Structure 1
């Protein structure tokens, strides 16, 4: 157990849907989780308010330590995961994967046959999380360049690869 954790504190994060009042704490968490792209605090407030059904917030002893923003892609039966952030205080607990399972088991994502996300080639933590999640649910992971450095980012950002996890039937997912 880390030295800075009081024995009476819990090490099991509380998972919940975010509220608009969580926007500032979400923004601070993302700012502390390099190499995640920082958005405006207003963007995180809108995510927490308008997309709460497809976002997950994790609290540990009253502090925001985890966040997933996502949405169902219009016209597709796919859940798009925009960002996954886990505080250094909560790393090693499997929180990223736990939050993904939380999202996948909500009624708002019942129709999802795939999870999609974009990841740059150098983001080893994200690749590890999504590969591990794909194995855990028995899903097939594929990827291809999607938002390209020169075509989409004017050379200012590395290419983002669209990662797709084809999900097994719902009854197989919940057994995982």
Structure 2
């Protein structure tokens, strides 16, 4: 069980919000500039900000400009599971705990509003930063973490794609009644 005071604070000067379609271009640029994420079409980020805003999150600077984001959705046949699709933070904002604070905030909202009890994501074996992010999330929330290969490298049409390892974290404790 995670108490509200155990959640990470967002870095000073930033706010967390649901994305809006107008954020799609900025989110696409952050994903592109990460040089780690698979870049989806710019159109897909616009749709994501419209259709999955309630299961996604954007971090904004003092001017309201997106500087980080998480895209996610609840699995259609397993609606109490939040699948985290992508997490990215602008280069200049990295190293200050923003990704972890965003993940805490989004899962707190999803457990409170949607009854989510587990988080899933996929991570390639060479992505040490994502491995640390999700392992520390599981530890912070005192939730079990399991890993198994979801898609072997051979499943991808392009050469050189690494396998995608499924991380499953849960069960998660329900959010306190006052969760935003």
TM, length-normalised to structure 2: 0.84
* Aligned-residue RMSD, C-alpha: 2.1
Q: Deviations over 1:47-99 (max 9, x none)?
A: 00110000100012323111000000012120000000011121122111111
Unaligned runs of 5+ in 2: 1-10
Structure 1 stretches of at least 4 aligned residues deviating more than 2 Å after TM superposition:
107-110, 151-156
SS of 2:13's partner is coil
Q: Which of 166, 171, 178 is matched with 1:167 structurally?
A: 171
Whether 1:132 aligns to 2:136 is yes
Unaligned runs of 5+ in 1: 1-9
SS of 1:106's partner is helix
In structure 2, do the counterparts of structure 1 residues 60 and 133 end up closer, same or farther at CA, with 3 Å as the change threshold? same
Q: Deviations over 1:19-50 (max 9, x none)?
A: 00111011001111121110110000000011
Whether 1:33 aligns to 2:37 is no
Mapping of 1:2-151 within 5 angstroms?
11-62=12-63, 63-76=65-78, 77-106=80-109, 110-151=114-155
Aligned length: 165
CA positional deviation for 1:171 = 5.1
TM, length-normalised to structure 1: 0.86
Relative contact order (C-alpha < 8 Å, sep 6+): which is higher? Answer: 2
